Amino acid sequence: MHMSDALLSPAVGGVMWAASAAAIGLSVKKINADNGVSAVDEKKIPIMGVMGAFVFAGQMINFTIPGTGSSGHIGGGILLAALLGPAPALITLASVLLIQCLFFADGGLLAYGCNVFNMGVIPCLGAYTLIYRPVVKKGLAKGNITLAAILAVVAGLLAGAFCVVLETLVSGITELPFSTFAALMLPIHAAIGLVEGIVTAAVLCFVHSARPELLSGAVTGAKLDKRVPVKKILAVFGVLTLVVAGGLSLFASAYPDGLEWSMERTAGTAELEREGGVYEMAADAVDKTAFMPDYGFRDADGDEPNEAAGTAVAGITGSVITVLLACVLGFIISATRRKKAA
């Protein structure tokens, strides 16, 4: 559900940049609070990096929605929030989306604020807090975890999809009339959310079996006890990330994702064009930083010399960059928090 710049007016793009920046700033403030429920300790920082990379890799795998000609991929917001807490999850997911935008040209730079809000703020701060946490507080059992994950993922994805429709409406994108676009976006993302909810529940149930302290700590805001070993579970997700990014990503569905599918049936195309200084500046900036646009190699003629190899390299490279960026941000925030406490 990564939006491109052509789906937004510069004004809406700027407002959503400000809204997402404010949400990220609020999250950092909560983490830095002496007794903040979202506090990040050093033991959770590697988890931010590895799980951020896992989500990056997971987003490369589009799964087919039977009978629709559409596909979807995980968003990862609820998964990250359930393991890290809402504030660290938002920062981690914002890192993932920034890497996708700048290095792989996935999602526009003008649209980055919308993508962070729709895919990060809504699930991490909204659906997790309002749906997932109240359900699992009744008892951290696998049944509650499964129910909470599915409900929260579906609700978060529906809300995010509806925000996409609203953002295009306010932007005056006449090719995507509100009623038709919404009637397509909401049902297809409900189906995508159901699949993601099941996947999220399965991952969280695995973590509950291996290290239940991770899930309980995220719900209560308690620090992870230093005596709790996490190396094995980090190793498991590290290996899974490499397998998904470097191998399973090659078998992703070729069908358009839910947003592209809805656009094609509404406007007849999934690639709208916009001209103007702001759009050109944003596109030029991404052109300069994106070393593997569309997750593949490019030669001088713009062709793909080896699509499979490019996808595998892009997946592994992006996952490694995600680990580094998420860990660096975690250490900076943690150091700032310690300095403030001192």
pLDDT single digits (tens) 240-292: 999 999 998 888 999 999 999 999 999 999 999 888 889 999 999 999 999 99
Contact 322, 330 (CB under 8 A): no
Print the SS3 string covering the chain. CCCCHHHCCHHHHHHHHHHHHHHHHHHHHHHHCCCCCCCCCHHHHHHHHHHHHHHHHHCCCCEEECCCCEEECCCCHHHHHHHHCHHHHHHHHHHHHHHHHHHHCCCCCCCHHHHHHHHHHHHHHHHHHHHHHHHHCCCCCHHHHHHHHHHHHHHHHHHHHHHHHHHHHHCCCCCCCHHHHHHHHHHHHHHHHHHHHHHHHHHHHHHHHHCHHHHHHHHHCCCCCCCCCCHHHHHHHHHHHHHHHHCHHHHCCCCCEHHHHHHHHHHCCCCCCCCCHHHHHHHHHHHHHCCCHHHCCCCCCCCCCCHHHHHHHHHHHHHHHHHHHHHHHHHHHHHHHHHHHC
pLDDT greater than 70 at residue 300:
no
Residue 64 has pLDDT above 70, yes or no: yes
Pairwise CA distance, residues 261 & 184, whole Å? 8
Q: Which of the two residues, 179 and 250, has the higher pLDDT score?
A: 179
Query: Is 154 within 8 Å of 194 (Cβ atoms)?
Result: yes
319-334 pLDDT, tens digit per residue, is: 999 999 998 988 887 7
Q: How far apart are CA 183 and CA 71, in angstroms?
A: 17
The residue among 90, 96, 89 whose CA lies nearest residue 2 is 96
Is 341 contained in some domain? no
Phi, psi angle pair for 85, to nearest 5°: 100, 160
Q: What is the CA radius of gyration of the chain?
A: 19
Output the six-digit token pair for 37: 């429920």
pLDDT at 87 over 80: yes
The domain tally of the chain equals 1
Within a domain: residue 342? no
In a domain, 211, yes or no: yes
Read off the tokens for 92. 């981690």
Residue 68: give its domain's CATH number: 1.10.1760.20
Work out the mean pLDDT of the chain and round it to a whole number: 91
**Whole domain around residue 286: which residue ranges?**
5-336
Q: Is the pLDDT score of 311 beyond 90?
A: no
Residue 177 located in a structural domain:
yes
71 bridge partner residues: 64, 257
- 154 within a domain of the structure (yes/no): yes
Q: What pLDDT was estimated at residue 222?
A: 73
Side-chain half-sphere of 70: how many Cα atoms within 13 Å? Answer: 22
State the pLDDT at residue 302.
52
Residue 8 tokens read as 């937004």
pLDDT computed for residue 77 by the predictor: 97
In a domain, 72, yes or no: yes
Higher pLDDT among residues 31 and 152, named by residue: 152
Contacts of 13 (CB under 8 A, 6+ apart): 5, 110, 111, 113, 114, 278
Cα 214 from Cα 212, distance rounded (Å): 5
- For residue 133, is it within any domain? yes
Residue with tokens 């702001």: 278
Residue 34 has pLDDT above 70, yes or no: no
| 46, 48, 51, 132, 182 from 332: Cα distances, Å | 13, 13, 18, 28, 41
Q: Rounded to whole angstroms, what are the CA distances from 149 to 93, 193, 225, 239?
A: 17, 10, 25, 24
